[in-house]
Structure formats: C-alpha cells, structure tokens
Amino acid sequence: MRIEQLAIALLSPLAVWLTQQPGNERRQRWACVVGLVSQPFWFYSVWLSGDWGIGVGCVIYTGIWVQGAWRYWVAPHRKSWPLRVDTRAGSPRIEWRRPTHR
C-alpha cells in the first residue's frame, strides 16, 4: 500500500468523524485541520491516477475545509487584529488599531 493511500484511509474518515461530534465544538473544530492535512494526499493520488473527476471533488472539499478553518480558527480572533480594512467609503482604507489588552 502506498503512503498516500494509507493517509487518505486514515485522515479522511477521521475528519468526517470529527464533524459528527454533537455538542463537542472542541473536537469539531479539529475536523477542518485534519481534512486539510489529508488534501495533499488526495491531490497526489489524483495526479498519479489521472482521475480528474475526483480532482474536482478535491478542489471542492479543500474549499469546504478552508471555510471550516476560517470559522473555527481565524474568525474568532479577527476582532483582536491590529489591522482593519474599511470599505464603507468606497475605496478601501487600511487602519491600524492599538491592541486592547484585557
């Protein structure tokens, strides 16, 4: 068995299992990380086999896992970022904010 097949067989079901943990957001948030870790193995497998239909699915799944990473890992911390882009006035304006320490 090739290494990419082993990684796909272990990581992909683990990622899906993590999404199905009701009421356990600590586990659910790791699903996207595990899913993203599995994607290079999927793309390599597609490259070797030439199954481009599966490649389209890989691109879609990567987008879904990135959305999960944004939701669970990036978005909760955005309010504390010192850089802010304001687009309300039409053209984008970049503002630096002082970090607020609690």
pLDDT tens digits, 55-92: 999 999 999 999 999 888 887 766 666 666 666 766 66
User: Is residue 32 within 8 Å of 65, Cβ to Cβ?
Assistant: yes
* Single-letter amino acid, residue 28: Q
pTM value is: 0.73
Distance separating alpha carbons of residues 26 and 36, to the nearest angstrom: 17
User: Is residue 33 within 8 Å of 3, Cβ to Cβ?
Assistant: no
**Band of residue 24 on the pLDDT scale cut at 50, 70, 90:** confident
